[in-house]
Structure 1
Amino acid sequence: MTTARPGPMPTKAGETTRENPWPVRALAQRMTEYIAKAPPAWIEGQIAQVSVRGNQAYLTLRDPSVDMSISVNCHRAVLEDLPGRSAEGARVVVRGRFGYWAKRGSLAFQVDEMHPLGLGELLVRLERLRKLLAAEGLTSPALKKALPFLPKVVGLVTGRASAAESDVLANARARWPAVRFRIENAAVQGSLAVTQVIEALQRLDADPEVEVIVLARGGGSTEDLLPFSDETLCRAVVHCRTPVVSAIGHEPDHPIVDDVADVRCSTPTDAGKRVVPDADAERRSVEMWRGRGRRALVGWVSTETARLSRLTSAAVLADPFGPLQARSNDVGRLLDRSRRVVTAVLDRGERDLAHRRAQLAALGPAATLARGYAVVQAVGPDGGHVLRETADAPAGTDLRIRVADGAVLATSRGRETDGATTNGTGTGLGADSSHGKDTAR
C-alpha cells in the first residue's frame, strides 16, 4: 500500500517558499519599486575619492567625524558644474535619492545636485560647536593640566616629514639637547585626518613614558585646518590623561582644538620652546642662585667673624680676671670704708653716752645729796611722801631724811619760828633724830 505525497501548501499572495521562490527579476522589480518610494535627501560629507568614467562620476562621501562612508554617483556635468572644481577633501552638500540597479543588484545614491559647503556656513557651524563645548565646560581653565617641567618623553603628532615636525624638534633640542620624542605621523588634512590623529593621540596617551603630547601642523587655509575643529577630535583631546599642547597653523589661526587643549601655542616653533626648559637659561639661573648663595654665606661668615673679633678684643675677654680683681678691690675698699664709718659711729655714740652719763651724774639726786642737800619724807601708814611745805610735817610727824651716804629717822617738833634755835640736821624743821640712822637706800 502506497501513501500519496502531500502537495505544496497554499501561500499568500507575494509570499515565497522553497517550493514557490521568486525569480531574480521579481525581487529586482520589487526592490526597484520599494526604493523608488523613498523621498530624495540632502546629505553632507567630505569627498574622499573621485573617479570619472565616461559621462558618470563615482564619488565616495565620508563622514568627517567617524569612519563611515557612502558611495554616490552623478552625471559628469554635475561634478564639473561645482564651483572651483571639486577635489578630494572638499566638503559638499548633495541632493539625490537611492536607486537600485537591477542588472547588477547594486544600490547607489544618485546625485542630481551638488554644492560646496560655503566658508561662511562652515564658520557659523564651527562657532556653534565652540559655544557648545564651552557650555559643557570642556574649555574651562579648571580642566587644564599643567605641563611637566622636564618631561621624560614628548609625544608628537604631525604630518610625515612636515615643516611642523622639523620646527618642533629643532627648537626643543636647541633648548634641551637631551629631550626624547616619540613621533606619530598622521594625516593632518583631508578625509582621513580626524581618524588618524585620534588614533595617534590614543597611542601616545597610553604610553606611560610620554608626559606631554604636542599636536602640530603648519599653516593653511581654513578648509585645510577643518579637521582640528572636528567635535570628535576635540572631545578626544579633552579625554586625554596626558597634557596636550595644540600648535596648529600660525598666530591668526584658531581652530577649536586650541580651546580644549591644555596649552595653546601660536606656532609649532613656539610649541618646541614651551614643552622643555631652556638649558642655557636654567644654567644661568643655577649660577645666579649659586652666586647669591655664595655671597650670602660669605657675608654671614664675615659678619660673624667681625662680631667674634669685637667680642675677643673686648677688655673683659683680653683680661678675664682683671674685672674680677677690680671688683674685689672695690669690695675691699668699701668694706674698709664701712668698718671705719661703723667704728666712727660707735666711737661717737660712746662719747655721747659718756657725756650723757656725766650730765646725769652732775644733775642727778645723788650729786645733789653729795653737795650737802637732803630729801625729807613724811612717813605714814599709807607710805611716805616728800615734804614740800612745813605744813606737811606738823609736830610729831615721823620723818625720813635721806643724805648722801644713807638715811636717818627723825620726829618733827613743828614749824620753826623766827629766831628759834635749831636742833638736829639743819633741815629747817624742829626734828628729833634720836631714832638712829636708816641704812635703806
Structure 2
Amino acid sequence: MTTNPHQNQGLALKAAMTTAENPWPLKLLTSNIRGYIDRMSEMWVEGQVVEYSPRGSTRMSFFTLRDVDEDVSMRVTAFGSAVADAGEGFAEGARVVVRVKPSFWEQRGSLSLQAKEIRLQGLGSLLAQIERLRAQLAREGLFAAQRKHPLPFIPRRIGLICGRDAKAKEDVLENARLRWPTAQFVIREVAVQGQYAVEQVTAALTELDAVPDVDVIIIARGGGSVEDLLPFSDERMVRAAAGAATPIVSAIGHEGDAPLLDLVADYRASTPTDAARRVVPDFREELSGVSHLHTRLVAATSRVLAREAESLNLLTSRPILQRPTAALEQQASSLEQAMLRMRGGVSRTLSAQQAEVAQLQAMLNTLSPTATLARGYSILRTPSKTILRTTGEIKAGSLIEGMLSEGTFVANIVGVNPKGSFVTDPQPSQSSTEGESR
C-alpha cells in the first residue's frame, strides 16, 4: 500500500473519514485516483470515432471515442502507428474497437485513454475495403480521364435508373424537360439501397446499355447516409459502368459524397438536377445562340457582299472593261502592221529571188548545149546513145544520129579523116555530113 504523505499531519486515512474540518488536499485525491487507475489492466472498448484530425508527420494522434448508443465520450491518444495500422477506413464516423489503457492526468484532473491497437468494425471495415478497391481500380486505369466518353449534345433518348417513385426521378424529368421539352426517357425504377440495389441497378444498366437509341444513362439517387450509398461502391456495379459503351452520368450523392461509381462514370453530377442540366441543352440558350449566329452571319454576308461589290466597281471602272474592243483594235492594228511588213518582206524576197533566178537562167542558157547548137553546132552519137568525141569512135558505113538546135537526123558515114581535114564525097549524088565533136 502506498504511504500517504499527509498521514503525519492528521489527515483522514480514507476518503470516507474526511470531514469538513479535516478535508483532503486536491493533490491527495488526484494522486489516489491516479494510483487506482494505473493499477487497471488494458481492455478492449467499442465506440465511434468523432473529432479526428490527422496530424501529418507527428507520431501522436488524438480523437474522441463516443459510445454508439449513449452520449458518452472520452479523449483517446494514439501513439506510434496504431491509427495507420487500422487502415484507410479510419475516419470520423467509423466504428472501431480499441485496446486501451486508462490514464489519469493529475495536473488537469482529466481521464483519457491511451490506444494500443485499433480495429475497424462494421461500416469502418467496409469503408476500408472500399478504399482498397478504389486503389486497385485506380491502378487498373478505370478512373483515367482518357477512358471517359463525351456526352451527346442532344441525346435521342435518355436512360434513367432511379428509385421507385423517388424525388430524384422527378428532379431529372422536370429539369430536363424544362430545358429541352422534347426530351425522351427510358426509365428503370429499381432498388437504390439495401441488399438488392447492386443486382437491380447493374441489371438495369446492362439493359439500357443494349438499347440502340439510348445515347446517355443517368443513375440517380440524390444523396443519403454513408451506409445508403455503399451499393454504389460495389465492384460489380462499378465494373459494369466502366464497361458500358453508353456514356454514364452518376447522380448518386451530394457534393460531399463520393462513391466509386462517381469516379468511373463519364460525368459526375452533384445532384439529379445537375445531371438533367448536363445531359440536355437549354433550348432557350440554343435559340439565343442561333439568333446571335444568324445576326453574325447576316453581318458577315453583308461585309462580303460590300467588299465584292467594291471590287466589281473597281474592275468595271477600268478602261478595258468600259471599251472591251480597245485591246482587240490595238491588236488588230499591230496585226495589220505586221502583215504589211510581212508582205513587203515577201515581195522584196521574191523580187530578189526572181532576179537571182533570171541571172542563173542566163548563165544556164550560156552554158547550155542548146545555145551551142543554136550557133551552128551539132552533137553526134551512136545508135547506142554514146556521144562521139573522136573519129576513132566511128567507122565508114556506120550510122550516126545528129542533134541540131531544132530536131535530129541520121547519117551514114562514108569515111573519116583522122587528121581533121574535110573529105569530099566522090559521089555528089549522095549526101554527105560534116561531123564535128567538141
Q: TM-score, normalised by structure 1?
A: 0.46
Instruction: Pick the structure with greater CA Rg.
Output: 1
Q: TM-score, normalised by structure 2?
A: 0.46
Between Structure 1 and Structure 2, which shows a larger proportion of strand residues?
Answer: 1
